[in-house]
């Protein structure tokens, strides 16, 4: 069992882990306030040493990934969120937006060694890395993680599929890292060229949905391919293990699942937006709202790792739409629900009838709930009139969606 886990952190008790993370939280927030100018403003007046519980963490404002482009434009390059000057970094990347991302000068900065270890990579293995090496940080994320494990890396990057086949045939790597679909493209090109790549054993994929048909393709070829979830801002957030039962959280992140458009944690098991506080002294993001949906899973993984698990990527949380020319977003639906505690969950249905947009807010609430009062709140918050329909608790899908646009668009 000694070689089954990356380190002892993965098998500590849940109580020990929670105590350790919550004990690190006040100093992390204090560091962010002191060294990252943006958090000096956002968290100004907050007593960092008092943030020692999940409840006190949930009271802090969120920082939204969707706002970073504008914030960085005002205060380049990192919007005041970095605790390290640009010239002291190892690399600076740009993700679509553009959003600029720092990489500090330390081993396995993005923490992907843990995910690669769970995939099966060990010292002496060779990784064929098909993530991009320019502009975006994915290539560096996996190279630095592989190096931390003692693996060699072939920096393949993206594209040039025939050359990828030739390189794999010549180097004979242990496995692949890249997007979920691209390894399939490479293997099919190898088949077309009559090149045998059956020696490939492992794969680690991220950066897109890992679809069931692609999983079957790899399984039929005897390839063990695992996935992870992370972002260019946070690094690794969660990773798949041999149990194939959800994604286990990284040991250096504090993850909350909140109602989309808010910072309010949802009930256990409910789908919501992933919000992460990362214990990174160089880029100390606090309650960073990713815009991605997921949900916590009950219990622990059968693989023996004791950290919490999420169900993986389940879609996007940003559900803004236009009704009668006015923007309506998930945060407004959440505000209506907040004003009526008897409403457990809600979904705004947007449709058209007789040539005009119509809104119907479906809410899970007791049958005697005051639909008229809820409708008044809907109008006050959105500045638009809409109907309210009371539905039975548990009848709305648990998918994190708060706005469902049913209108048919022609184009």
Contact 334, 262 (CB under 8 A): yes
pLDDT range class, residue 319, cuts 50, 70, 90: confident
What pLDDT, on the 0 to 100 scale, is given for residue 116?
A: 98
Q: Considering the entire predicted model, what is its pTM? A: 0.85
Contact 238, 276 (CB under 8 A): no
> Has residue 409 got a pLDDT over 70?
no
pLDDT range class, residue 194, cuts 50, 70, 90: very high
What pLDDT, on the 0 to 100 scale, is given for residue 385?
A: 94
Alpha-carbon Rg for the chain, nearest whole angstrom, is 23
Return the half-sphere exposure (C-beta side, CA atoms, 13 A cut-off) of residue 404. 13
* Measured distance CA(103)–CA(84) in Å, rounded: 10
Residues above pLDDT 70, as percent of the chain: 99
What pLDDT, on the 0 to 100 scale, is given for residue 401?
A: 87
What pLDDT, on the 0 to 100 scale, is given for residue 322?
A: 83
């Amino acid at each position: 069992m000694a070689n089954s886990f990356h380190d002892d952190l993965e098998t500590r008790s849940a109580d020990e882990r929670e105590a350790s993370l919550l004990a690190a939280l006040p100093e992390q927030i204090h560091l962010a306030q002191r060294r990252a100018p943006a958090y000096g403003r956002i968290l100004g007046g907050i007593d960092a040493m008092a943030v020692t519980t999940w409840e006190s963490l949930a009271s802090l404002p969120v920082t939204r990934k969707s706002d970073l482009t504008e914030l960085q434009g005002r205060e380049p390059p990192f919007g005041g969120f970095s605790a390290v000057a640009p010239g002291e970094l190892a690399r600076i990347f740009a993700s679509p937006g553009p959003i600029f991302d720092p990489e500090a000068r330390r081993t396995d900065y993005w923490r992907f060694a843990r995910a690669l270890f769970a995939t099966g990579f060990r010292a002496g293995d060779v990784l064929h890395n098909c993530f991009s090496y320019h502009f975006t940080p994915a290539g560096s994320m996996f190279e630095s993680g592989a190096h931390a494990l003692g693996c060699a890396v072939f920096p393949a990057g993206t594209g040039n599929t025939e050359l990828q086949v030739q390189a794999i045939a010549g180097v004979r790597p242990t496995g692949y890292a890249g997007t979920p679909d691209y390894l399939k493209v490479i293997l099919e090109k190898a088949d077309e060229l009559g090149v045998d790549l059956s020696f490939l054993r492992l794969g680690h994929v991220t950066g897109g949905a890992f679809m069931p048909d692609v999983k079957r393709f790899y399984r039929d070829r005897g390839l063990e391919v695992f996935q992870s979830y992370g972002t260019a801002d946070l690094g690794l957030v969660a990773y798949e293990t041999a149990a194939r039962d959800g994604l286990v959280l990284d040991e250096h992140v504090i993850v909350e699942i909140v109602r989309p458009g808010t910072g309010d944690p949802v009930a256990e098991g409910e789908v919501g937006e992933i919000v992460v506080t990362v214990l990174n002294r160089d880029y100390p993001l606090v309650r960073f709202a990713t815009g991605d949906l997921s949900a916590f899973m009950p219990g622990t993984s059968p693989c023996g790792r004791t950290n919490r698990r999420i169900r993986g990527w389940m879609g996007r949380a940003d559900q803004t739409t236009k009704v009668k020319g006015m923007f309506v977003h998930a945060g407004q639906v959440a505000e209506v629900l907040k004003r009526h505690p008897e409403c457990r969950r809600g979904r705004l249905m947007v449709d058209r009838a007789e040539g005009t947009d119509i809104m119907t807010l479906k809410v899970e609430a007791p049958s005697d709930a005051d639909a008229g009062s809820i409708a008044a709140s809907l109008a006050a918050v959105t500045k638009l009139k809409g109907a309210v329909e009371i539905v039975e608790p548990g009848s709305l899908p648990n998918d994190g969606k708060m706005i469902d646009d049913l209108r048919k668009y022609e184009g």
